[in-house]
Structure formats: C-alpha cells, structure tokens
Chains A and B, each alone.
Chain A
Amino acid sequence: MTGKITEAELREQVKVLAAKFLQRTASQIPQLQNELERLAATGDRNALRIIQDIVHKIHGSGAMFGFDLISERAGDLEKFTTRVPADAESTALAAVAAPMRPLLEGLASALVAAERDSPPLS
C-alpha cells in the first residue's frame, strides 16, 4: 500500500473499523463462554490458549479504538491466563475456569456499555 489516503478518509475508516470491532467482539463473547465451559469440563489447555488469543486481541484493539473499559477487562482476563503455569495439568486447568467467569462477565458488561454509547455501523 502506498500513501493515497487523506486525513478525513483515515478518520472515517478508523470509525468504521471501531464499529466492526464492537460487532466482532460481541460475536466472540459466546465463543469465549463456550471455551471457558470446555476448559471447566475438560481442562483442555487448547481452550485456555484460544481464550488467551482472543482476549489479547480485544485488549490491544480495544485500546486502539478508545474502548478503554473493554480493553482493561480483556487485559484482566489476559493477565489471568498468562499466570496459569505452563505445566499445569488438566485438573488444575479446569479449576481456573471458575475465577475467570466473573472476568468474562465484566468484559461482556463493558461491551454492552460501549455498544450503548457508540452509533451502529451504517
């Protein structure tokens, strides 16, 4: 890509991306809930990895778009996932799901608040 954009176009594009971010994040909440339940039921490390990957992106992009509370709540979840020992066995992994539930609820609430305050994508 070579520079062919104006500042006005850039501002508009960032707004569009921000609205898409909210839509995508809304669609990821059920996925996060499913992976969390899978983690609780099976202690599968892959479920934890998927959660970590999703919340890492929400944390970074949320901050970029100015959705500070979403970013902060996603960051809380990410921090929690990174503290789980790399050698934790499935029973221990399953046990980390319970304290993650309120963190995920916090993220979902932050998303609802942001959606309420942001105009829908036209």
Chain B
Amino acid sequence: MDRTLLRTLLYVDDEPDIRQIVQMALGLAPGLTIHTGDSGEQALSLTRRLRPDLVLLDVMMPGLDGPSTLARMRAEPSLAGFPVVFMTAKAMPQEVARFRELGAAGVIAKPFDPMKLAEQVFAIWEGIPGSAARVS
C-alpha cells in the first residue's frame, strides 16, 4: 500500500507572530519542511505551486477566511484533494463539527502549546487515509 509521509506543510495565518511560532514549533519535527503564507489567496497560490502534503489554515483571516479558502480548494480539481487542518480560537464542539463537515481533516485549537504542536499535527496526519506514521 502506498502511504505518504508528512514532509512538507503549508501554514497560512494573517498574524505574523503566530506564523513565526508555528514555524519554530514545527521545526521540532525532524525532516518536516514548513512554508508559510499570510492570506487565503496565498494559501491557494502556494498550494498550487508547492503541492504540500498538508495545509494548515487559520480560520479568521481578513478577505478570504479559512472556510472560504477550503471551499475554493474543494471547487478546484487540482487542489481538491489536499488535506486541510484548521487552526482556530473557535474550537467549541459544534464549530469543530461544522469545520469537519466542510471537509477539514482536523482542527487545532488556539492558543496552542508550541511544545506540543508538532505532535498534534502528526496525530491528525496519521488519521488521514493514505498517510503514513512517522519513520523517526
């Protein structure tokens, strides 16, 4: 069975501080390359160009927010298959359920613990059909 390792990830958030923390926090995971963007529009263009294994999207962004970005991805055949995880301060059960209905592979609550973020991301990744557990 052909299973994919998590090697490249795109994180998109309009808040520079949080982008930097996520980038550093995921830097704890060996072998993972992290790209970042600051808007929903960038999420679309960077996903087209970089073809990351996983896309992490902030929910509340000005302009194209996380859910709208995901809807655009699902409507575009070349982007429809990319797994998307939302990061949000709105992580109440009914909101998480709504995000899952929209097609999110998982939801990570903000604020998050930078020391545990990589573990959370990999736990979600390993639950995605076709993904492989880490080798390390």
**Docked CA distance A53–B63 (Å):** 11
Shortest C-beta distance, A59 to chain B (Å), equals 8
Say if the beta carbon of B127 comes within 8 Å of chain A: no
Query: Which chain A positions have C-beta within 8 A of B23?
Result: 1
Shortest C-beta distance, B84 to chain A (Å), equals 19
Interface size on A, residues (CB 8 A): 22
Say if the beta carbon of A4 comes within 8 Å of chain B: yes
Shortest C-beta distance, B125 to chain A (Å), equals 15
Query: Which chain B positions have C-beta within 8 A of A6?
Result: 28
Query: Which chain B positions have C-beta within 8 A of A65?
Result: 17
Query: Which chain A positions have C-beta within 8 A of B112?
Result: 64
Chain A window 1-38, contacts with chain B (Cβ cutoff 8 Å), 1 for yes, 0 for no: 11111110011011001000100000000000000000
Say if the beta carbon of B110 comes within 8 Å of chain A: yes
**Docked CA distance A3–B31 (Å):** 6
Q: Does A2 contact B27, Cβ atoms closer than 8 Å?
A: yes
Q: Which residue of A lies closest to B17 (CB)?
A: A61
Say if the beta carbon of B93 comes within 8 Å of chain A: no
**Docked CA distance A60–B26 (Å):** 19
The B111-132 residues at the A interface (CB cut-off 8 A) are: 111-112, 114-115
Interface size on B, residues (CB 8 A): 27
Q: Does B21 contact A64, Cβ atoms closer than 8 Å?
A: yes
Chain B window 72-112, contacts with chain A (Cβ cutoff 8 Å), 1 for yes, 0 for no: 00000000000000000100000000000000000000111
Say if the beta carbon of A56 comes within 8 Å of chain B: yes
**Docked CA distance A3–B27 (Å):** 4
**Docked CA distance A60–B58 (Å):** 11
Say if the beta carbon of B64 comes within 8 Å of chain A: no
Query: Which chain B positions have C-beta within 8 A of A14?
Result: 21, 24, 114
The B14-52 residues at the A interface (CB cut-off 8 A) are: 14-18, 20-21, 23-34
Q: Does A2 contact B33, Cβ atoms closer than 8 Å?
A: yes
Say if the beta carbon of A45 comes within 8 Å of chain B: no
Q: Does A56 contact B60, Cβ atoms closer than 8 Å?
A: yes
Interface residues of B (CB under 8 A from A): 14-18, 20-21, 23-34, 60, 62, 89, 110-112, 114-115
A-B contact pairs, 17 of them (CB 8 A): A1-B23, A2-B31, A2-B34, A3-B27, A3-B31, A10-B24, A10-B27, A11-B115, A13-B24, A17-B21, A56-B15, A56-B60, A56-B62, A57-B17, A60-B110, A61-B18, A64-B112
